[in-house]
Amino acid sequence: MTMTSAEPDRTATPTLGAITHVALTVRDVAVSVPWYQQLIGADPVLDEDTGPFRHVVFALGDTLLGLHVFPEGIEDVAHTPRRPGLDHVSFGCADRNELAAWERRLDELGIQHGGIVDAGYGSGLSFKDPDGLPLELFCPPSA
């Protein structure tokens, strides 16, 4: 078989693995860490100042969620998904019942959200962290 320039060489392409971690830049870890502790229901597994930044990390199964803060501060501009970069971070739920349980939990924590939105590709529940970073809980469509 002769490969044309339009056909990629699959033997040379390594497999891209699962996402191992997500790092979010926050304004104030004294505000964000307790907020995420309440949301996640667990303490961070790491709190380290590396010099260029401090990061506080939570374990979510096989994925790590890091909160970064920079000693010199950050640009104080509101997040927008219309700027190149992060649009949102989505956390998986097993099914719509679990998603509904999360909706109740967000209500208990006083976290504003957009309610569950159902679509053909699944159901989502959107909300924001203390810095306005967009987060989502998402489950696949029901069978």
CA 29 to chain CA centroid, Å, is 16
Which pLDDT score, from 0 to 100, does residue 100 have?
96
Distances (CA, A) of 118 to 69, 97, 100, 127, 138: 35, 13, 12, 15, 10
Torsion angles phi and psi, residue 56, rounded to 5? -120, 125
**pTM to 2 decimal places:** 0.82
Which pLDDT score, from 0 to 100, does residue 5 have?
57
Which pLDDT score, from 0 to 100, does residue 73 have?
78
Which pLDDT score, from 0 to 100, does residue 8 have?
59
Per-residue pLDDT of the chain (143 residues; tens, 9 = 90+): 455 556 656 677 787 888 899 999 998 999 999 999 999 999 999 999 988 899 999 999 999 999 999 888 778 787 787 777 788 999 999 999 999 999 999 999 999 999 999 999 999 999 999 999 999 999 999 85
**What span, in angstroms and rounded, lies between the C-alpha atoms of 117 and 90?**
14
Report how many helices (DSSP H) and strands (DSSP E) the chain contains, helices first. 2, 8
What secondary structure letter does DSSP report for 129?
Answer: -
